[in-house]
Amino acid sequence: MSRLSKQPIAIPTGVEIKQDGNVVTIKGPKGELSRSFNNDVIAFEIKDGTFGFSKVEDTVFSRALIGTYASHIMNMIHGVTAGFEKKLIVEGVGFRSEVKGKELHMALGYSHPVIMEIPEGLTAVAEKNLITISGIDKERTMQFAAQIRAKKKPEPYKGKGIRYEGEIIRRKQGKKSA
């Protein structure tokens, strides 16, 4: 059994959790998140300000899912209370980014500008060489950050490209002249 699911998750004040069939809805100060779970394998218990998990039957599938479900619930609670944020650094001569309405415009050394639609529920802020993506859903926030990074991955020789804040790019030595 997962260590995450052994202890019930404390529900913070100002957060409401509702279970309707196999859909769990969590409402907090920043917004509301819903997710569908497989109730045939894992049962949820909401009581006394805690959210608990139990396996319906002990199978390999249920042991694999119980920790995943606990992690999803914890991420949803964190998202509606504090939110998630991912920062990307744009490095390179002439590389820049700016937000225009609901679109992220980037100049990444291509012959054309790279334009990305900002998904509903997420916010993007571009200042100098830093792009900040924030939202309440961890999956959507991190997925959009990964899609931005994929437009121009950092290269190891000059370090140009888009990288996550705190990401270390191992630099390679270029050709040596004789």
Q: CATH number of the domain at 12, please.
A: 3.90.930.12
Q: Collapse the DSSP code of 106 into the 3-class scheme (helix H, G, I; strand E, B; otherwise coil) and give the result.
A: strand
pLDDT of 2 reads: 65
Only one residue has tokens 């830093």, namely 130
Where a domain ends, among 35, 66, 81? 81
Asked if residue 116 lies in contact with residue 103, where contact means CB atoms within 8 angstroms, the answer is: yes
Q: Are residues 58 and 108 in the same domain?
A: no
CB atoms within 10 A of CB 120: 8
Q: Is residue 40 part of a domain?
A: yes
Convert the pLDDT of each residue in 117-130 to its tens digit: 999 999 999 998 99
Q: Which residues of the chain have pLDDT under 50?
A: none
Where a domain ends, among 24, 56, 81? 81
Q: Are residues 95 and 118 in the same domain?
A: yes
pLDDT of 57 reads: 87
Q: Are residues 160 and 89 in the same domain?
A: yes
Burial class (CB in 10 A: 0-12, 13-18, 19+), 99: middle
pLDDT of 53 reads: 86
Q: Are residues 88 and 147 in the same domain?
A: yes
Q: Is residue 158 part of a domain?
A: yes
The pTM of the full predicted model, rounded to 2 decimals, is 0.90
pLDDT of 21 reads: 86
**Total domains in the fold of the chain:** 2
Burial class (CB in 10 A: 0-12, 13-18, 19+), 86: buried
Where a domain ends, among 81, 102, 124? 81
Q: Where in the sequence is the domain holding 21, given as residue range(s)?
A: 3-81
